[in-house]
Structure 1
Amino acid sequence: MSEDLALIFDVQGYSVHDGPGLRTTIFFSGCPLSCLWCSNPEGMLFKKRIMYNALHCKLCLKCNERCILLEKNCKDCQLLSCVEACPHQALRVCGKHYSINDLMRIFRRDRPFWGAEGGVTFSGGEPLLQEKFLHQILTECNKTHIHTAIETSAYMENCDDFLDIMEHVDFAFIDVKAMNEEKHRKLTSVSNKIILRNIRDLARCQKEKIRSEKLVLRYPVIPGMNDDDQNVEALIDFMQETELKVINILPFHSMGSSKYDLLNLNYEFKDLLFPSIEERAGQMANIAEKFAAKKIQCFIGSETLF
């Protein structure tokens, strides 16, 4: 096996919402999108991140004694000597390099717990950003008959490379943030043209039996951002055009907001007032009805087809 390495910011066992059965989910660092509501900000950049918990800090300044860079360069530092120096676990590194062998050892360890339907899910960040490694680990999983799933934005410039990756995937969740290109760029910092093209081509390959993986679209519903009727109707039209029949709509949550504080980042939605849980539940039910009216199977939140 190759000793190429991937930068991964989390390995999560016993996952129940990331594909069929019980799964081990691998979170790849780095993402080409910058979604305003991202719940995994520690995985946005393709580098190790330092997370600082002020509640654990005793102001001993051991970290400063070990720092060899000027404070202005701190955000770009990958030496991480300050983390090693902290005796109180106020600092921790988010991101670790794994080889193919490292991950396969984890999979062999977890496999007895997956059951007949479980397996591995590659998430992020954006797993496609580390294309070479992703292709290698998917190939190894295929060889050992491990069920593979992916959670992705489908943002990959070369469509042939995208389809080649997807050939090794048994189940795919693809996020669709907004149908209008200008709105998509505003919400994520990138155009949606590449994403929609890749979804169209993957759906075509499925229809023509060139690919056999199960493809489910995911639509994160962000109040005041992408929850308007126009966006919902455009998404329904797109699914009818591509003959995709299943969607998972995700209600907004702010559970990742505390991570922004740990990373010393600004959380865009910090001071915004959102609808109550009851109002959001009603909105999600209304959106689901619109999909159902067009014969599109719609699952809300953790409700899934498996």
Structure 2
Amino acid sequence: MKPNKPYEAYTGMVFNIQHFSLHDGPGIRTVVFFKGCPLRCPWCANPESQRFTREITWDKKKCRLCLHCVQQYPQVFQHRQGEILVDQLVAQACGSRLDPVDICLYDALDSEGEEKSAGQIIREVCKDKAFYSESGGGITLSGGEVLAQPEFALAILRLAKENGLHRAAETTCYTTPAVFREFLAEIDYLLFDVKHFTDQKHRSIVGVPLPPITENIRLAVASGKDILARIPLVPGFNDTLADVDGFAAYFQEVGIKKVQLLPFHQFGENKYRTLHRSYAFTGVDALHKEDLQEHARRFAGFGIECMI
């Protein structure tokens, strides 16, 4: 990226900035969650991260059905069968004039997504700089998909370097090799999820092809950077011992020697309700701890270190 303006001026869409995180890289970290992702994983724990625009959410548990929102903005909100429906396109057109927090008297409405500048992000992250120094922490860019907003991500990372921050990122590695090389040069630690080891399943379930991801994983391995591959174990998709064998063969091919298993959970189920989206994994059982340990032993048999 050849900057045509100061790094501080680049803008992008984020949906959360989480301070004092301990699970997204070494030490105490501030995680910046980018909004927007080209993948469509049906198990996604953060459905609010998928679209690239601001979205209005409605929490049925908090709503009193006073219909104040419908009366104030009938073009945005509709009442049907005990539900408040949101026209996201109209809400988007309203922009900042529509503040759901001010509209609802009972905090049932909220918004996900806000445009921020790289300068704003760095100023927020640097508030905890003393904790990073003591713990070996820093900034982590997450998503959504960081690489879907590459100029914004690179601007933040370069500002982070100027401020002496350790830089990590969580990504799917789905982008062009040119973008990935530039991105890789700006980070100290890379965490990436591998959803599946076959292109057919990757395309049909996740929604994007696997080969571009594989090419970028090879680049990450060849770079000598500190990297960690992770597998989000999803019931019925990639959680059998036969899948372990497939992943192991894939990792051996691309040069991955260490992997972390991410157990399946349903913590994001209610988020789907607030966005009026269906959730495909209601009542689905995850693997038990003993199963995960068996998976780890299987990986070890292939010479791949496995963390749970």
TM-score by length of 1: 0.89
The aligned residue for residue 285 of structure 1 is: 293
The aligned residue for residue 285 of structure 2 is: 274
2:137 alignment partner, one of 112, 118, 127: 118
1:75 alignment partner, one of 67, 88, 106: 88
Q: In 1, Cα distance between the equivalents of 2:158 and 2:123? A: 15
| 1:195 and 2:208 are equivalent in the alignment | no
Give the superposition deviation at 1:92: 0.5
Q: In 1, Cα distance between the equivalents of 2:199 and 2:254? A: 18
The aligned residue for residue 45 of structure 1 is: 51
1:185-220 per-residue CA deviation (whole Å, 9 max, x = no partner) reads 2321122111111101221232xxxxxx21110101
Runs of 5+ consecutive residues of structure 1 not aligned to the other structure:
207-212, 301-306
| 1:131 and 2:150 are equivalent in the alignment | yes
Give the superposition deviation at 1:169: 0.6
Partner-residue secondary structure (3-state), 2:299 = helix
The aligned residue for residue 185 of structure 1 is: 203
Q: Which ranges of 4 or more aligned residues in structure 1 deviate by more than 4 Å?
A: 70-73
8 Å CA contact retained: 2:231, 2:262:
yes
Runs of 5+ consecutive residues of structure 2 not aligned to the other structure:
1-5, 79-84
Q: In 2, Cα distance between the equivalents of 1:223 and 1:100? A: 38
The aligned residue for residue 303 of structure 1 is: none
Give the superposition deviation at 1:137: 0.6
Give the superposition deviation at 1:110: 1.2
Pairwise mapping of residues 168-179 of structure 1 onto structure 2 (< 5 A)? Answer: 168-179=186-197
Distance 1:281 1:116, change over 3 A: closer
The aligned residue for residue 226 of structure 1 is: 238
Distance 1:23 1:73, change over 3 A: closer
The aligned residue for residue 81 of structure 2 is: none
1:149-208 per-residue CA deviation (whole Å, 9 max, x = no partner) reads 11100000x2021111011111111110011111112321122111111101221232xx
| 1:250 and 2:262 are equivalent in the alignment | yes
What amino acid is aligned across from residue 207 of structure 2 in structure 1? Answer: S
8 Å CA contact retained: 1:62, 1:82:
no
Pairwise mapping of residues 201-220 of structure 1 onto structure 2 (< 5 A)? Answer: 201-206=219-224, 213-220=225-232
Identity of aligned residues (%): 33
1:53-95 per-residue CA deviation (whole Å, 9 max, x = no partner) reads 1222222222112225265981222126261321221100111
8 Å CA contact retained: 2:191, 2:228:
yes
The aligned residue for residue 12 of structure 1 is: 18
8 Å CA contact retained: 2:14, 2:34:
yes
The aligned residue for residue 108 of structure 1 is: 126
What amino acid is aligned across from residue 153 of structure 1 in structure 2? Answer: T
CA RMSD of aligned residues (A): 1.7
2:110 alignment partner, one of 85, 92, 96: 92
In the alignment of these two chains, the number of paired residues is 289
| 1:236 and 2:248 are equivalent in the alignment | yes
Partner-residue secondary structure (3-state), 1:248 = strand
TM-score by length of 2: 0.89
8 Å CA contact retained: 1:66, 1:82:
no
8 Å CA contact retained: 2:28, 2:135:
no
